[in-house]
């Protein structure tokens, strides 16, 4: 059973611009956004079998909907995010309170460190990967590695359109990796190649990477991804996965999709 | 000296290739690095850690490099000032005094890196925190209250960079062999001497050549070659004892060295007295310089030195005959006189004298190329063990070395 933290998009809007996708003139259609979000929830609950924990949305915090950036939760321990931009720093207290209310052991990073949660820290069972340079900073990974006793391989994100690791890389439950290699420099690509053999590296095309094909939620053999990525769907199918495309283009106006809208709690 | 900072890099820096990326960045931007300490994690979970010294040709380039590697986790290690303690009494260093090496050294004073002047091994460092200067100081010269560096904090030593010239000095591995062919080594020394003479004539810094030699130069037949090298302005400073000048002038006055007929190689009757008579004669005249200038001594090494204004430091030893006027019999004073002649030396030739070769070698900074020539392998070996890229050892006799060197430089045969 997979538990995911989500937050309804009641106040979702584009009120500032902190990544190349966000344009304040590109207004969100709120009704559409709400419909799309509920569509995603339905797929997650009914088709994938995930259990959803819903956070209460807050006025003035339009990006609270992107719960992937709440922090990282592993084995009853939660490390809340430290956002790079002041616009999102106001979310930190809400996420931290939620973790405490749920009874997690909360470990906080010193202020001044930047770490944007599961957006930049993705896990295989034995190795974790950390994205840095755009939002999180590389110096947090030794601290997290120490807290969770895990190896964390930092990967530099070199294309600001892929500003979080979960926008260009998605670990799959069978050990495969769905990713867009040009989002990394050759050191990062080499480091990934060192850990994952070529047969398990599923490369997404640029067109679909820009539709956030890698911003997918994998639960067992189910993969929920944004609609409009047929080649990625075929790739997943050929490796034994069941793709579930969901229309999420209102959230793409803010630079987020399926994965950004969820946080794995187990 | 190059600008440098120490950086720390930690975490899973090996498998992520972060370390490789940082090192590549340093090199691609024109900097260099040295590992000071590396600890590799023993398991996948255990982090690795590297302390790296980053060097660049200017403060601006260094700052650019640090700026470029900082996002990959390289943090500049916070540096502290060196610790200073006043000398408790004249001639006594404070406890825990820092003992120098012969490598380029800096100390951190008032948050600034200050070059230690006149670097020499086995001395202390005297700091003037007001004038922001630092220099080496021998134990015996310390005055009570002098501020001396203690401990190792705030002291950094720069390993020698491999010399850029592609000659024998650039790829010596501190090994000394009697079996190695000498010719190309001597050829390279000759090329350096030509460059240095040109620099000396133009008044360039660090272009003086020092020769420290023993009397075997005269006995073995290297006198004429050395006199020629001095006359041709290839040698600018001479370190020796009492015997080298005594036997050199004995040849001029009596035609013998230590009683052997110089030309025929036979002992002459009462020849063993000749060097004593020579010393006595020079003492009577008052100085070697006066003996040469008055025309009493006309040929040889000392005559050439006087003609060319070569600085001669003669350091006496126990049971010297005479000694000759000008020989310094107080060994502390002799050491100080030799030390005073070191600044400006660009190359040192240490020929056929264990005592003077080792003393001179220990006075020289590691950055000065040196050549040690002796028939006894242990002398060049001892000098080569100083750990300098630029110490060349030749196991051969003094006359052959000086003869080949002068021929290489165009001396008439």
The pair of structure tokens assigned to A85 is: 């931009």
Measured CA distances, A12 to A16, A45, A253 (Å): 12, 22, 11
Q: pLDDT, tens digit, for every residue of A128-144?
A: 999 999 999 999 999 99
* pLDDT exceeds cutoff 90 at B390: no
Flag whether residue B42 sits within 8 Å of chain A, measured between CB atoms.
no
Interface predicted TM-score of the whole assembly (ipTM), two decimals? 0.89
Mark which residues 47-76 of B lie under 8 Å from A by CB: 47, 71-73, 75
Out of A138, A142, A194, name the one closest to residue B72 (CB): A138
Strand partners, A5: A53, A263
Out of A152, A156, A185, name the one closest to residue B12 (CB): A152
Q: Are A24 and A15 in contact, with CB atoms under 8 Å apart?
A: yes
pLDDT confidence of B205, banded at 50, 70, 90?
very high
Domain range enclosing A88:
3-264
- Nearest residue on chain A to B49, alpha-carbon basis: A142
3-state secondary structure of B237: strand
Is the preceding peptide bond at B323 cis, omega within 30 degrees of 0?
A: yes
Mutation for A interface: B17, B40, B72, most A CBs within 10 A = B17
What's the CATH architecture for B83-157?
Beta Barrel (2.40)
With CB atoms and an 8 Å threshold, state whether A195 touches B45: no
Mutation for A interface: B10, B11, B13, B74, most A CBs within 10 A = B11
Alpha helices in chain A (DSSP H): 30-42, 86-89, 92-101, 140-148, 186-195, 206-209, 230-238, 249-252
When pLDDT is averaged across residues B171-198 and rounded to a whole number, the result is 81
Rounded to a whole number, what is the largest CA-CA distance in chain B? 86
3-state secondary structure of A52: strand
Flag whether residue B82 sits within 8 Å of chain A, measured between CB atoms.
no
Listing DSSP states for B120-175 in one string gives: -TT-EEEEETTTTEEEEE-GGG--TT-EEEESSTTEEEPPPPPPSS-STTTS--S-
Long-range contacts made by residues B201-209, C-beta under 8 angstroms, separation at least 24? B201/B233, B205/B344, B206/B344, B206/B345, B206/B346, B207/B344, B207/B346, B208/B236, B208/B237, B208/B344, B208/B345, B208/B346, B209/B234, B209/B235, B209/B236, B209/B237, B209/B345, B209/B346, B209/B347, B209/B348, B209/B349
Listing DSSP states for B258-285 in one string gives: TTEETTT--B-TTGGGHHHHHHHHHHHH
Q: pLDDT, tens digit, for every residue of A221-253?
A: 999 999 999 999 999 999 999 999 999 999 999
Number of structural domains, chain A? 1
When pLDDT is averaged across residues A32-44 and rounded to a whole number, the result is 97
The pair of structure tokens assigned to B282 is: 């020079």
Name the DSSP letter for residue A68. Answer: G
CA atoms within 13 A on the CB side of B404: 16
With CB atoms and an 8 Å threshold, state whether B17 touches A145: no
* CATH class label, B3-76: alpha beta
Strand partners, B32: B55
Listed by start position, the domains of chain B span: 3-76, 83-157, 183-408
Q: Which of A96, A93, A20, A101 is nearest to A61 (CA)?
A: A93
Q: Are A240 and A9 in contact, with CB atoms under 8 Å apart?
A: no
As annotated, the active-site residues of A are: 164, 260
* pLDDT exceeds cutoff 70 at B49: yes
Q: Are B328 and B334 in contact, with CB atoms under 8 Å apart?
A: yes
* pLDDT exceeds cutoff 90 at B401: yes
- So what's the pLDDT on residue B1? 45
CATH number reported for the structural domain that contains residue A111 in this entry? 3.75.10.10
Mutation for B interface: A145, A147, A185, most B CBs within 10 A = A145
Count chain A–chain B contacts defined by CB atoms under 8 A: 59
The pair of structure tokens assigned to B248 is: 């050199």
* pLDDT exceeds cutoff 60 at B172: no
At the topology level of CATH, where does B183-408 sit? Rossmann fold (3.40.50)
φ, ψ for residue B393, nearest 5 deg: -110, 135
With CB atoms and an 8 Å threshold, state whether A127 touches B17: no
When pLDDT is averaged across residues A3-18 and rounded to a whole number, the result is 95
- Nearest residue on chain A to B22, alpha-carbon basis: A187
């Amino acid at each position: 059973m997979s538990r995911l933290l989500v937050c309804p998009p009641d106040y979702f809007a584009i009120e500032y611009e902190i990544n190349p996708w966000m344009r304040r003139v590109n207004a969100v259609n709120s009704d559409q956004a709400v419909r799309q979000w509920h569509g995603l929830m339905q797929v997650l609950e009914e088709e994938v079998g995930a259990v959803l924990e819903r956070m209460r949305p807050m006025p003035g915090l339009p990006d609270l909907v992107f719960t992937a950036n709440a922090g990282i939760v592993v084995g009853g321990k939660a490390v809340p995010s430290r956002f790079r931009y002041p616009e999102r720093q106001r979310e930190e207290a809400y996420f931290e309170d939620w973790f405490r209310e749920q009874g997690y052991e909360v470990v906080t990073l010193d202020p001044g460190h930047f770490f944007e949660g599961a957006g930049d820290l993705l896990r295989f069972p034995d190795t974790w990967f950390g994205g840095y340079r755009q939002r999180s900073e590389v110096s947090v990974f030794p601290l997290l590695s120490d807290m969770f006793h895990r190896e964390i391989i930092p990967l530099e994100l070199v294309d600001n359109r892929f500003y979080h690791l979960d926008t260009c890389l998605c670990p799959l439950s069978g050990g495969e990796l769905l990713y867009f290699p040009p989002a990394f420099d050759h050191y990062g690509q080499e480091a990934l190649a060192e850990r994952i053999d070529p047969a398990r590296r599923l490369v997404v095309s640029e067109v679909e990477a820009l539709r956030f094909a890698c911003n997918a939620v994998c639960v067992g053999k189910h993969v929920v991804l944004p609609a409009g990525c047929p080649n990625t769907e075929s790739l997943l199918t050929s490796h034994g996965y069941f793709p579930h495309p969901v229309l999420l283009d209102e959230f793409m106006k803010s630079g987020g999709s399926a994965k950004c809208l969820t946080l794995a709690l187990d | 000296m190059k600008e440098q900072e120490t950086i720390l890099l930690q975490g899973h820096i090996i498998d992520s290739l972060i370390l490789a990326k940082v090192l590549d960045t340093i090199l691609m931007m024109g900097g260099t690095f040295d590992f000071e300490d590396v600890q590799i994690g023993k398991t996948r979970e255990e982090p690795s850690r590297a302390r790296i010294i980053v060097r660049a040709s200017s403060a601006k380039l260094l700052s650019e490099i640090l700026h470029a590697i900082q996002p990959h986790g390289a943090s500049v290690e916070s540096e502290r000032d060196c610790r200073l303690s006043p000398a408790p009494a004249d001639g006594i260093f404070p406890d825990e005094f820092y003992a120098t090496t012969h490598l380029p050294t800096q100390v951190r004073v008032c948050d600034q890196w200050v070059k230690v002047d006149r670097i020499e091994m086995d001395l202390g460092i005297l700091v003037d925190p007001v004038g922001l200067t630092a220099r080496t100081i021998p134990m015996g010269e310390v005055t009570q209250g002098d501020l001396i560096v203690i401990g190792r904090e705030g002291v950094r030593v720069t390993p020698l960079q491999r010399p850029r010239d592609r000659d024998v000095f650039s790829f010596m591995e501190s090994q000394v062999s009697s079996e190695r062919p000498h010719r190309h080594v001597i050829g390279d020394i000759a090329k350096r001497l030509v460059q240095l003479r040109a620099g000396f004539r133009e008044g360039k810094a660090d272009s003086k050549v020092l020769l420290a030699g023993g009397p075997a130069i005269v006995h073995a037949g290297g006198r004429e070659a050395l006199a020629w090298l001095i006359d041709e302005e290839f040698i600018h400073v001479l370190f020796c004892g009492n015997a080298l000048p005594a036997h050199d002038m004995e040849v001029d006055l009596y035609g013998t060295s230590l009683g052997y007929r110089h030309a025929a190689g036979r002992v002459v009757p009462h020849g063993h007295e000749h060097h004593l008579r020579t010393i006595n004669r020079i003492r009577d005249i008052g100085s070697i310089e006066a003996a040469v200038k008055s025309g009493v001594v006309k040929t040889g090494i000392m005559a050439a030195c006087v003609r060319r204004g070569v600085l001669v430091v003669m350091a006496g030893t126990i049971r010297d005959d005479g000694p000759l006027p000008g020989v310094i019999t107080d060994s502390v004073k002799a050491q100080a006189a030799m030390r005073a002649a070191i600044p400006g030396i660009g190359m040192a030739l240490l020929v056929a004298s264990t005592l003077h070769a080792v003393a001179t070698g220990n006075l020289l900074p590691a950055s000065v190329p040196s050549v040690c020539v002796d028939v006894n392998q242990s002398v060049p070996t001892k000098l080569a063990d100083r750990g300098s890229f630029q110490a060349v050892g030749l196991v051969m006799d003094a006359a052959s070395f000086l003869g080949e060197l002068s021929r290489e430089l165009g001396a008439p045969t």
